[in-house]
Amino acid sequence: MFFDTFRSIRILNLPHRADRRAEMLAELRKFGLDGDPRVSFFPGSIAKEKGSFATPGENGCYHSHMALLKDAASSGGPVLVLEDDCDFTPETTSYELPAEWDIFYGGYQADEPDDLINSNIIGAHCMGYSPKAAKMLADYLDSALDPDFPPDATALAQGHYSPGVKPPFDGAIVWFRRAHPELKTVFAQIAIQRSSRSDIAEGTFLDRVSPSLAGVARKAKNWVRRRFA
């Protein structure tokens, strides 16, 4: 089973988002992971200022993932890192990782689907890391906060780099992989992001007008996505 690959399963969750925590526990229950000692929630943080990022949300997300990775790297063993809006497809149970891997994408959007290794990738809601990759990425993320840290050459050439603005977490993973091509990356589409009110992006019109109706609409959308994933 896919989940047997990992020594720990860490779920990034903002402490005040009890709704997402409950939804995530329900999702794990479908795969027999309720009560599994490997599963734990990691408290994310919200940044009040954007700092060197495009938005405060990106700042908080980046630092939350970095803190989780530092903690995971110290414990050793392969780790599966989930954001608390992650849902799995039925194919998850039969999916097997290859014998050798360092970074695993369980769900993503790619600018160049036919060239995933070199493509820009959006999404980090389901990520796996070998012990080596977790430590190296945590150190990289920390170093990348330095104002003088050099930008990724590909992002610079493609015009996807804004001077003085750090990439969001999923972009930083791409930069890291380009800096360390010796690490083996594996891609699969076994996880999707559950539609849920965001703490990073501004709420929708329905969120502002009728939060309860927005919740009903998201539940309907999630049902459709699971049904046809």
Paired strand residues for 13: 43
Question: Quick one: pLDDT at residue 76?
Answer: 86
pLDDT in tens, the chain (229 residues): 899 999 999 999 999 999 999 999 999 999 999 899 999 999 999 999 999 999 999 999 999 999 999 999 988 899 999 999 999 999 999 999 999 999 999 999 999 999 999 999 999 999 999 999 999 999 999 999 999 999 999 999 998 899 989 999 999 999 999 999 999 999 999 999 997 666 655 554 433 343 443 333 334 333 334 444 4
Domain 2-194 has CATH 3.40.50.10540: no
What pLDDT sits at residue 203? 53
Q: What is the pLDDT of residue 20?
A: 96
Q: Please calculate the CA angle 209-210-214 and round it to the nearest 5 degrees.
A: 115
Other Cβ atoms less than 10 A from the Cβ of 121: the count is: 20
| Predicted model pTM | 0.85
pLDDT of residue 1: 83
141 closest CA partner among 77, 78, 56, 58: 58
